[in-house]
Structure 1
Amino acid sequence: MSKKMAVLLAEGFEEAEAVVPMDIAMRAGIEVTKVSVSGEESVKGAHGIAVGTDMKLDDLDAADYDMLMLPGGMPGTTNLESTPKVAEAINRMNEKRGYIAAICAAPRILGDMGLLEGIRATVYPGNEGHMKGAAVDMKAKAVADGRFITARGMGCAVEFGREIVTALVDAETAGKVLASIQY
């Protein structure tokens, strides 16, 4: 049975931070569901690229998934932060002991929620103050610690995808996928 990842897309998300890890995950056989935070059928990213979605946030039951993924970007991250149902989905995944992955500024959401206490993590520079109790590593491109995967930004999207595949499938599969894309 393949693993399942739900990607929360809010208006203004950083396109590459969503699409690159989704592509890598799908190449590894992970079932990816694109979730519209706004409820619209497609969500426009920070640079005007619209991405079609598979479901609305109102219809998401995080317990049906193995991982939640939060792309960053602005105003995507602030739109995630200002949507109470996003926090509900994150809490549901955390209660289930499932994986939570966030890139760029989005890890600050997890930090502000107190979920990164004692966890090694990274975040887009300037957001370190939101990482309550985390062991912040600003040199790492992507960090996996337990059930949490974080990455610094768009330039780290491939490494972020690798950590997602390693967590949900295995390191060998992640390596094969990256080799197949000439990384």
Structure 2
Amino acid sequence: MSKKVYIFLADGFEDIEGLTVVDLMRRAGIDIETVSIKESNEITTSHGIMMKTDRVFTGTDFSDADMLVLPGGMPGTKYLGEYQPLCDLLRDFYGKSGKVAAICAAPTVLASLGFLEGRKATAYPSCMEGLTGAEPSYESVVVDGNVTTSRGLGTAVDFALSLIGQLLGEEKADEIAESVVYSRK
């Protein structure tokens, strides 16, 4: 059975953090859709690349989600954290033990929602103090229960492979790593 993942994009998201997750998950056969939090599916990345998302948030039914993902980047992370419908969705999904994942600055959004309380977590170095209630970790990727956090662009492949491993098993994650000539630690 195919897994369903939604990754939420706002203007100013970090290109590599968002699109590495999309690319590697699609290679693994995971149905991942990019979702704009704007009324339009046109997004501009933090490095000025214009792209179109698969969907817009408004009117999308997320009831089939197996995982929700937030990429970092500024001001994208700020916009994600300020978008109340996304925060409401994350609260509801997390409350039902759904898997949530965030990289770079985006773990601060999870912290602001109380998801990191008493959990091990990581983030971009300058965002570590924003991990309210978390036990800070400096590992590339931290999985604590249904919450996964990662540090930044340099850990994006490890982050994506960890998410694939959680959804489809480590053998599949290893297969994808090998297919893109990436050595897992």
Give TM-score, length-normalised by structure 1: 0.95
Matching residue's letter, 1:136:
P
The farther-off stretch of 172-181 and 60-69 is 60-69
CA deviations 1:83-117 (Å, max 9, x no partner) are 11110121121122111010000000101111111
1:129: Cα distance to partner?
2.2
CA displacement, residues 1-32 of structure 1 (integer Å, 9 cap, x when unaligned):
20000010011000000001111111111101
Q: Indicate conservation of the 8 Å contact 1:3/1:31, yes or no.
A: yes
Match of 1:61 in 2: 61
Give the Å deviation of 1:42: 1.9
**Which structure 2 residues correspond to residues 1-183 of structure 1 after superposition, within 5 A?**
1-138=1-138, 140-183=139-182
State the alpha-carbon separation in 2 of the partners of residues 153 and 135 from structure 1.
18
The residue identity in structure 1 corresponding to 2:14 is: E
The answer on whether the counterparts of 1:36 and 1:55 sit within 8 Å (CA) in structure 2 is: yes
With over 3 angstroms needed to count, the CA separation of the structure-2 counterparts of 1:95 and 1:60, relative to structure 1, is farther
What are structure 1's unaligned runs of at least 5 residues? none
Q: Which runs of 5+ in 2 are unaligned?
A: none
Greater Cα offset, 5-14 or 142-151:
142-151
For the aligned residues, what is the CA RMSD?
1.1
Q: TM-score, normalised by structure 2?
A: 0.94
Separation in 2 of the partners of 1:59 and 1:150?
28
Does the 8 Å contact 1:61/1:89 carry over to 2?
no
Calculate percent identity across the aligned residue pairs.
39
SS in structure 2 at match of 1:12: coil
